[in-house]
Structure 1
């Protein structure tokens, strides 16, 4: 189901608040991205503000969390005014996650919800995620993990797509309303290449270096043989060439542990590692 263009934003917001308000206490799986931020802001608006501890935003912290995203989640939660905490998760110790087949996200989300469930039980709360309607059309095994854990998905349930999420974020006055999507660092590692803390740190360092040089919307994909494949919007291609000429980009990446660097001339594409997924699809054990 999708939201019709003719539907007013206020009507959509009202339905979202009503949906979230139908639950009592709430635990929001909070990344600091726009989807979970809208859910967190709506949760705070929907609950009785006189009930202390009625809702909390929880951010998973592990080697797969980009360094800048930890601070982002803290800052945005503060802007919203919702109680916020970090929880240290251990997906990097789980074989199904480390082997990095096409079901890796299942094990990641399964781990996240296992760590959120004790918090939810303590608060007699429901867990909410920021899954939106557009997510349902992609390869997202993590959604199955959420279903298994009875996680509620108010955005997807109401057919609210990414564009509408951003509009709602603007109406809430969220500073990250236009923030580009940035999934966890493990999503940058090609299927079949093991996820390790060292590889995650290498990707984080490379993306941080590019961000520090003015490129905000990007992915550094890691392939077998420690090959880096840079994805940026086409209008940023010339900037990558400039960085190679003026800052020796490839030498910088070599010091981080990459064997070689390529620029993907197809440009930035969300979920590009899912393209052509066939052989590595497996059923979680």
Structure 2
């Protein structure tokens, strides 16, 4: 595939690169290609904070080990920034600012002239204020530069025999809250435990949206009917209440990526990175 060769050439030109590696399929593909081209001159670094599920961190470790790429973890402190915890519409800007303010000096101190991330071409079409924060700090996005879409990310990952090529998207837990509702460690942990519970039931593509004391479960539309019939709903409600929720609801529209952005004004959506 021509785009794969373009990505390989891009990394050859970089010579050394630090990958902002979350363990999602986008950054995992970037890490794989970087390691194939650069070997130990590529380093994957995962930011650890309350907005990352422990199980996602473990997945990142396992995947990095399978690829062979050197992997490190750093703690980020976005929860100490009131601009982040207040959860404004540009919350992601402050998250990515903290991430790249942490990664850039680390990269330079280790002799890596480039920090790269897993932003793909489709991400540029959505409201992603974090992309601007990364650009301001000199980060590069190889997938976006080459024009690789989300579908092509999965195609390339499958072509490269990555077992996780069809891994569901799993953005940070802070994306589960409506804009304007304060984010706390307790709320993040509550959402994380609820989503982990549902995955243990065999569900994959899902979100638990949190609004005050209410949990709203989002599933693919075609799964909603079977879920309502087959699941032990009293047991599920009891589990969610143990996690700290008071009310548990099921979104009848179903899961849709970026759903919380539908409340944004047109002028905000027009200001895409």
Give the aligned partner of residue 241 of structure 1: 228
With normalisation by structure 1, the TM-score equals: 0.90
1:248 deviates by 2.2
- Equivalent residues in 2 for 1:149-160, closer than 5 Å: 149-160=137-148
Give the aligned partner of residue 260 of structure 1: 247
Cα RMSD between the aligned structures?
A: 1.8
1:181 deviates by 0.6
Q: Which whole-Å CA distance do the structure 1 matches of 2:167 and 2:100 have between them?
A: 25
1:257 deviates by 1.1
1:153 deviates by 0.6
Q: Which whole-Å CA distance do the structure 1 matches of 2:6 and 2:104 have between them?
A: 26
Pairing 1:27–2:21 present: no
Pairing 1:46–2:32 present: no
Which aligned segments of 4 or more residues in structure 1 are displaced greater than 3 angstroms?
242-247
Are the equivalent residues in 2 in contact too, given 1:130–1:155 (CA < 8 A)? Answer: yes
Aligned length: 269
Pairing 1:191–2:182 present: no
Are the equivalent residues in 2 in contact too, given 1:222–1:228 (CA < 8 A)? Answer: yes
Are the equivalent residues in 2 in contact too, given 1:234–1:267 (CA < 8 A)? Answer: yes
Give the aligned partner of residue 6 of structure 1: none
DSSP 3-state at the match of 1:131: coil
1:205 to 184, 193, 208: 193
Unaligned runs of 5+ in 1: 1-8
With normalisation by structure 2, the TM-score equals: 0.94
1:169 to 136, 153, 157: 157
1:171 deviates by 1.5
DSSP 3-state at the match of 1:77: helix
Q: Which whole-Å CA distance do the structure 2 matches of 1:181 and 1:138 have between them?
A: 15
2:135 to 147, 151, 154: 147
Q: Which whole-Å CA distance do the structure 1 matches of 2:227 and 2:247 have between them?
A: 15
Q: Which whole-Å CA distance do the structure 2 matches of 1:185 and 1:243 have between them?
A: 27
Q: Which whole-Å CA distance do the structure 2 matches of 1:256 and 1:78 have between them?
A: 32
